[in-house]
């Protein structure tokens, strides 16, 4: 490597967003976890008495909405926000009035 030249920065593969399948499975796990808590709340509403029963009923009513909102929250990181994958020296520069044929 010649002295005085900076090494071009290249985006790392670890900075890429997760795959669509990985994102979907993550959202599915969150949804199923929330629905498991809702099922537990139904069971506890039958077993418990007094104010605890009504708290469980309230949670059982609210949790489906919360679960759907969380499940629909996709990971929307964009690759163009992370930067270019090509080093700067390889990007062709066009000056005004000079056109390069494709």
**Model pLDDT, residue 67:** 87
Q: For residue 56, is it within any domain?
A: yes
Q: For residue 44, is it within any domain?
A: yes
**Model pLDDT, residue 79:** 47
- b/e code 68-93 from CB counts within 10 Å (16+ = b): eeebeeeeeeeeeeeeeeeeeeeeee
Q: How far apart are CA 4 and CA 77, in angstroms?
A: 35
Task: Give the residue numbers spanning the domain of 60.
Answer: 38-76
Q: For residue 98, is it within any domain?
A: no
pLDDT tens for the 102 residues of the chain, in order = 556 566 566 656 666 666 778 888 888 898 899 999 999 999 999 999 999 999 999 999 999 998 888 888 766 555 444 555 555 555 555 566 656 566
**Model pLDDT, residue 27:** 86
- Total domains in the chain come to 1
Q: For residue 83, is it within any domain?
A: no
Q: For residue 99, is it within any domain?
A: no
Q: For residue 89, is it within any domain?
A: no
Q: How far apart are CA 71 and CA 69, in angstroms?
A: 6
Q: Model-level pTM greater than 0.85?
A: no
Q: For residue 64, is it within any domain?
A: yes
């Amino acid at each position: 490597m010649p002295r005085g030249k900076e090494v071009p920065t290249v985006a790392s593969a670890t900075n890429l967003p997760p795959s669509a399948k990985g994102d979907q499975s993550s959202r599915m796990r969150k949804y199923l976890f929330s629905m498991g808590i809702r099922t537990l709340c139904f069971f506890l509403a039958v077993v418990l008495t007094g104010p605890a029963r009504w708290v469980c009923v309230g949670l059982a009513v609210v949790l489906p909405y919360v679960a759907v909102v969380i499940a629909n929250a996709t990971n929307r990181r964009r690759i163009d926000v992370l930067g270019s994958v090509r080093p700067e020296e390889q990007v062709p520069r066009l000056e005004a009035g000079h056109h390069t044929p494709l």
